[in-house]
Structure 1
């Protein structure tokens, strides 16, 4: 383990504002979060993974974290400070941390870095993400089956491939069960801003949407839908079960704990090496929250069958025939999208109107 004696790890962690776990001697694992650990969504689930690391290793591992770190220059400073504090492995848990992570990693070759949802690696940088689009397919099936207005609203964070994939997957599967369905997308340009998310939800509802999907991290859209009545929603990143059985009728749950435990174990064993991980429902990185009784029994059964088919590898959510929004052919009958295209997805599928912001 790389020991630094300028300051004790605990003292420096407190100076930098990191939350700390019980003292440990073997490995220090750090986590950089884009939102607060109590956001009820994305960061909440990452922090559950951190707590699982503590539980798995006891006093052999110490964890430190910093929450609500903006993407960009602020994140580079936070990652640097965490490396200086004595962290042996650092998990940076937002797409916008990618370049800062690579930059800091070059300065700390003895520290291992793990970046969530990115694509840039180095000798001491791995990347990991989940196939959220698999869960979006199930949400889309339920949404298309349950909408009465045929208008589905989608609150999107940033126009990156991860988010665009989710929109497309949800739309494809809503359209399969309801050819009359229409999607309206509002770009919030934030991962976590309850006020903006609530405003977006209310705007979509006022425009006739009776289903709201989101790729933002707070429960504010759930609360807005609950206040409106007769609107259904889906938990994002975490179960958001406080809003079940209505408006939240199911959810996508990110399960990071097994990955975090495995990678910390690799550092302890001296077997850590750079890799790229992109897992979904089958390996358990993407979970589907309980489908509530607000969903008709037949629709629930169909959704669970779809989940099982995806998990088994018998069905891929991006299977042709599919065209792009401009009408050009993308996938022929029975053709399955390759990971390279999905990882760089920058287009809507046919039927979704509006432009993707640049």
Structure 2
């Protein structure tokens, strides 16, 4: 009966009102913030369209706030004329169906009702997914506001697809979605592509809502899901399977919804356990590499760390190693084999294996999986990486004492998290001992190559490259004398990470919805600077003094006023710069000659890593 339906709908509306009052929020639908001519630089008529019912959350008439809850459920008493008209519409819907479209204004992906409030209310009560509407779009003035910037990305997405049910509020998320879908162009989608995407999304929607999630987060949840499990690989799944997988990656979704990001653990407070208290072989640690020790210095160094872990823990830890594991399928096989052989800790030693690691963590929640990367936002996989900028600061100071003309070369690998901090720390060290020092920056993985040669052609003698500071004595790399190099003690790092499992502190370091990243450097004994005997006594002693000062927190590379290349003050507090700002640096100091290249300037192999770990380039001044 329509009258019974009204009472049920009214109870739901009053429940929403009570919940909003408890939170001190508005109880009715949002109202259009201002007059259309003030809000928009122009308006567009979209004609008749199917709009998602959940996105109809506003009204153009503020008086309607007294008749509806935030979710457009009725709240006026059952003996009012309003209730009678609502019940009459309910009867029409049950007998004939509501055919007349409502009229709405769309602004920043919110739909505000002009005509048809009761139609929206009735259709929402009966569980409609979309509602036909005549839509007028108000286009805001472009600005740096994140929501506005994200909206203009939506407009590009809308031109390609005509789809309006994917809503992001932060810039960069629509391009992230397209990348996850495997679409690198801006061409219009075919009717078949649109149909397939829509069908899969609404199947995902059904699974998502079964999990008692709030609908407002569905777009971010969808993005997180397809990044981990793949879009094409998931299109054939049933809602029950998607629902199960969603429950497994709940921490990852919660991280995105709360914008919890990454918690950097900078100190290693876990003490060395008394290994005699543990059963031999209690911990089995598997190492998964994307190359081999014979072909890659990176893999070789991690394998050396693995041997130290196994050989210097009194038999308490046994290890497994898997090399040349590159594809998702190979990762699946390696993890399954490692788990079958008793592995309870798994290290994947490259950022390229991150998403595969997250997927495997969802499938094996009892196994602790760690990935060698920085600043990732997947709580189920902890990450680790050496903190290098302190050591780079020391090498910069060494170079500053040696150079005669103040010109020092620096060849960076990729503009990834932490790498810009290393460049700037090197420059800070050089300027500390030599006020005339200038750092000439080039990049090793540009498409045109030849970074070292370009610096040598400028007559630069001292060049930092591949974590080595060297003096050029000729035109060939073989004629460069290494003076100082950075060493990462992977064995020390792996021993400390495994101790967390052995002595039970793993759970204590949990950071809620935030991902955990161990970022350890010289203070924790993970990073050191080795000086050559060729280095004069003075610079060698200076390196020792700086090392002790950094370890004792008496010196910080990023303390005080810092200016970028445009002369803008980017940091001026009378305190060391926070670690998260150091990690995500995307600007260069005024003493650095060079720039951060655009993504397209790097080789394809470099681009793969930059997609995973690249810092966002600073906009041009």
Superposed, which structure 2 residues align to 1:294-305 within 5 Å?
294-305=534-545
Superposed, which structure 2 residues align to 1:28-107 within 5 Å?
28-33=284-289, 36-38=292-294, 41-57=297-313, 60-67=316-323, 74=326, 76-85=328-337, 86=339, 87-107=343-363
Q: Select 1:284's aligned residue among 502, 525, 545.
A: 525
| Residue 302 of structure 1: how far off its partner (Å) | 1.8
Task: Give the structure with the higher percent helix.
Answer: 2
Corresponding position: 1:169 with 2:430: no
Equivalenced residues, count: 306
Q: Give the match's secondary structure for 1:282.
A: helix
What does residue 259 of structure 1 align with?
A: 493
Q: Select 2:463's aligned residue among 209, 212, 217.
A: 212
Residues 286, 336 of structure 1: alpha-carbon distance in 2 compared, 3 angstrom cutoff: same
Q: Give the match's secondary structure for 1:327.
A: coil
**CA distance in 1 between partners of 2:478 and 2:543 (Å):** 19
Q: Select 1:202's aligned residue among 421, 440, 453.
A: 453
Corresponding position: 1:322 with 2:556: no
Q: Which moved more, 1:309-318 or 1:113-122?
A: 113-122
**CA distance in 2 between partners of 1:202 and 1:34 (Å):** 30
Give yes or no for contact 2:370–2:383 (8 Å, CA) kept in 1. Answer: yes
What does residue 45 of structure 2 align with?
A: none
Residues 53, 293 of structure 1: alpha-carbon distance in 2 compared, 3 angstrom cutoff: closer
What does residue 384 of structure 2 align with?
A: 128
| Residue 65 of structure 1: how far off its partner (Å) | 2.6
Residues 311, 325 of structure 1: alpha-carbon distance in 2 compared, 3 angstrom cutoff: same
- Structure with bigger RCO (C-alpha 8 Å, 6+ apart): 1
Residues 76, 226 of structure 1: alpha-carbon distance in 2 compared, 3 angstrom cutoff: farther
| Residue 144 of structure 1: how far off its partner (Å) | 1.4
Q: Which moved more, 1:53-62 or 1:274-283?
A: 53-62
| Residue 111 of structure 1: how far off its partner (Å) | 1.8
Residues 227, 84 of structure 1: alpha-carbon distance in 2 compared, 3 angstrom cutoff: farther
What does residue 552 of structure 2 align with?
A: 312
| Residue 168 of structure 1: how far off its partner (Å) | 0.8
Q: Give the match's secondary structure for 2:284.
A: strand
Residues 107, 230 of structure 1: alpha-carbon distance in 2 compared, 3 angstrom cutoff: closer
Q: Select 1:250's aligned residue among 478, 484, 489.
A: 484
Q: Give the match's secondary structure for 2:442.
A: strand
Give yes or no for contact 1:165–1:345 (8 Å, CA) kept in 2. Answer: yes
| Residue 208 of structure 1: how far off its partner (Å) | 1.6
Q: Give the match's secondary structure for 2:459.
A: coil
**CA distance in 1 between partners of 2:457 and 2:324 (Å):** 31
Q: TM-score, normalised by structure 1?
A: 0.74
**CA distance in 1 between partners of 2:427 and 2:596 (Å):** 15
Q: Residues 151-190 of structure 1: CA distance to partner in whole angstroms, max 9, x if unpaired?
A: 3222211111211111111012112222333322222239
Give yes or no for contact 1:98–1:118 (8 Å, CA) kept in 2. Answer: no
What does residue 49 of structure 2 align with?
A: none
Give yes or no for contact 1:211–1:231 (8 Å, CA) kept in 2. Answer: no
Give yes or no for contact 2:442–2:594 (8 Å, CA) kept in 1. Answer: no
| Residue 266 of structure 1: how far off its partner (Å) | 3.9
Q: Give the match's secondary structure for 1:90.
A: strand
What does residue 193 of structure 1 align with?
A: none
| Residue 350 of structure 1: how far off its partner (Å) | 1.5
Q: Give the match's secondary structure for 2:592.
A: coil
Q: Select 1:338's aligned residue among 578, 601, 607.
A: 578
Instruction: For structure 2, list consecutive stretches of 5 or more residues without a partner in the other structure.
Output: 1-279, 511-515, 599-621
| Residue 138 of structure 1: how far off its partner (Å) | 0.4
RMSD: 3.1
Give yes or no for contact 1:76–1:104 (8 Å, CA) kept in 2. Answer: no
What does residue 20 of structure 1 align with?
A: none
Q: TM-score, normalised by structure 2?
A: 0.45
Instruction: For structure 1, list consecutive stretches of 5 or more residues without a partner in the other structure.
Output: 1-23, 191-195, 234-246
Give yes or no for contact 2:437–2:591 (8 Å, CA) kept in 1. Answer: no
Give yes or no for contact 2:441–2:592 (8 Å, CA) kept in 1. Answer: no
**CA distance in 2 between partners of 1:266 and 1:80 (Å):** 25
| Residue 101 of structure 1: how far off its partner (Å) | 2.5
**CA distance in 1 between partners of 2:434 and 2:482 (Å):** 20
Give yes or no for contact 1:115–1:127 (8 Å, CA) kept in 2. Answer: yes
Give yes or no for contact 1:30–1:82 (8 Å, CA) kept in 2. Answer: no
